[in-house]
């Protein structure tokens, strides 16, 4: 839990950030399925604003390695603390749920597990392989922690052959230390992405940026350049939304026109695909990126 940021009111959201409460039969069906399988989703843990839309379409981002994170990033709603368990049956349950849902694209992420020798890479690999085994037509996207830059852990994940390797840079270099304290480092995140590109030239690499944390436009463009320099293919840009008054405050809300401008800038810098909008999150429209990968392989 974050304790060193003063409690302050959360600013009222502009109209373009207002979303409907999640509802509908498909949403309820998926929620019940997650509970039956005792699975966690980042959609719920991180209070994603798109949960109604995505779950209504039958898509979700599975969160493995438990629901307690060993880090305490100042923007994140996921519980931080000392994890107590490691569930080795999780890969099978995730793969069976993907099968039940009939997914063609599955997204798997996790909390940080700095308490584990490989940071949880082996469970990522087991999950990827089990999904592919039970769902041969399903592409797998992983959104991993930085594994403290450990080459061995990154190789373990990539040897399982995920179609998309994602690691979020989250913010610009100057802001990074103030919102990702402790073991996280901007250059470590870049190195993770560089290694992923180097070791998986047939797959896609992906990263994401939040805006509204005090960065400047020039710094965002510089971060785009840093990501392209290490070979990132896909970029997501979304508005930071303060989970509670105890988390780092919002500096400002970006207008949709600004997101459109950043999308144009991203394409100009050579990204293959850019998702940029107020409610964009890392796995937003991820199935479309999977379709792009399939088209690339068959083209």
The DSSP secondary structure of 116-169, one letter per residue, reads: STTTTHHHHHHHHHHHHHH-TT-EEEEE---GGG-HHHHHHHHHT--SEEE---
Out of 85-89, 151-155, 292-296, least confident range: 292-296
Confidence of residue 281 (pLDDT cuts 50, 70, 90): confident
pLDDT per residue as tens digits for the range 201-242: 888 999 999 999 999 999 999 999 999 999 999 999 999 988
**What number is the average pLDDT over the span 265-285?**
87
Out of 46-55, 58-67, 86-95, least confident range: 46-55
Hey, what are 248's tokens?
A: 């780092």
**What number is the average pLDDT over the span 145-165?**
95
pLDDT per residue as tens digits for the range 193-204: 999 999 988 889
Hey, what are 269's tokens?
A: 């810098």
Per the model's pLDDT, the better-predicted residue between 283 and 129 turns out to be 129
Query: What pTM, to 2 d.p., does this model score?
Result: 0.85
Whether residue 1 has pLDDT greater than 80: no
Per the model's pLDDT, the better-predicted residue between 102 and 273 turns out to be 273
Confidence of residue 7 (pLDDT cuts 50, 70, 90): very low
**What number is the average pLDDT over the span 285-290?**
60
Confidence of residue 25 (pLDDT cuts 50, 70, 90): low
**How much is the pLDDT for 267?**
97
Confidence of residue 38 (pLDDT cuts 50, 70, 90): low
**How much is the pLDDT for 78?**
84
The rounded distance, in Å, linking the Cα atoms of 34 and 56 is: 14
Helix (H, G, I), strand (E, B) or coil at 145: coil
pLDDT per residue as tens digits for the range 101-125: 888 888 899 999 999 999 999 999 9
Domain 20-298, second-level architecture = Alpha-Beta Barrel (3.20)
Residue corresponding to tokens 């470590």:
188
Burial status of residue 99 (CB atoms within 10 A of its CB: 0-12, 13-18, 19 or more): middle
**What number is the average pLDDT over the span 255-260?**
96
Whether residue 33 has pLDDT greater than 90: no
**Pairing label, strands 61-64, 105-110:** parallel
Q: What are phi and psi of 62, to 5 degrees?
A: -75, 135
Whether residue 43 has pLDDT greater than 80: no
- Among 197, 204, 183, 75, smallest CA distance to 119 is for 183
**What number is the average pLDDT over the span 140-152?**
95
Confidence of residue 3 (pLDDT cuts 50, 70, 90): very low
Name the residue ranges covered by the structural domains of the chain.
20-298
């Amino acid at each position: 839990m974050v304790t060193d940021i003063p409690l302050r009111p959360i600013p009222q959201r502009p109209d373009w950030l207002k979303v409907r409460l999640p509802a509908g039969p498909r949403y309820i069906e998926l929620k019940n399925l997650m509970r039956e399988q005792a699975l966690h989703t980042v959609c719920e843990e991180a209070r994603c604003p798109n949960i109604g839309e995505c779950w209504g379409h039958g898509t979700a981002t599975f969160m493995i390695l438990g629901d307690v994170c060993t880090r305490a990033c100042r923007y994140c709603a996921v519980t931080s603390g000392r994890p107590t368990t490691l569930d080795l049956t999780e890969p099978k349950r995730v793969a069976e749920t993907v099968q039940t849902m009939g997914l063609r694209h599955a997204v798997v992420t996790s909390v940080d597990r700095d308490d584990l020798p490989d940071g949880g890479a082996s469970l990522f690999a087991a999950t990827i392989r089990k999904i592919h085994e039970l769902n041969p037509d399903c592409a797998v996207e992983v959104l991993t922690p930085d594994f403290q830059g450990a080459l061995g852990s990154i190789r373990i994940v990539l040897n399982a052959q995920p179609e998309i390797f994602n690691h979020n840079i989250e913010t610009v270099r100057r802001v990074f230390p103030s919102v990702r304290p402790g073991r996280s480092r901007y250059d470590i995140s870049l190195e993770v992405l560089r290694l992923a590109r180097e070791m998986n030239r047939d797959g896609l690499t992906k990263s994401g940026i939040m805006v509204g944390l005090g960065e400047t436009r020039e710094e965002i463009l510089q971060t785009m350049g840093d990501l392209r320099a290490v070979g990132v293919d896909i970029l997501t840009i979304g508005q930071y939304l303060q989970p509670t008054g105890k988390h780092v405050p919002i500096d400002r809300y970006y207008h949709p026109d600004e997101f459109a401008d950043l999308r144009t800038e991203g394409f100009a810098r050579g990204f293959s695909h850019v998702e940029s909008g107020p409610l964009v999150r890392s796995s937003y429209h991820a199935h479309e990126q999977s379709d792009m990968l399939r088209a690339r392989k068959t083209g």
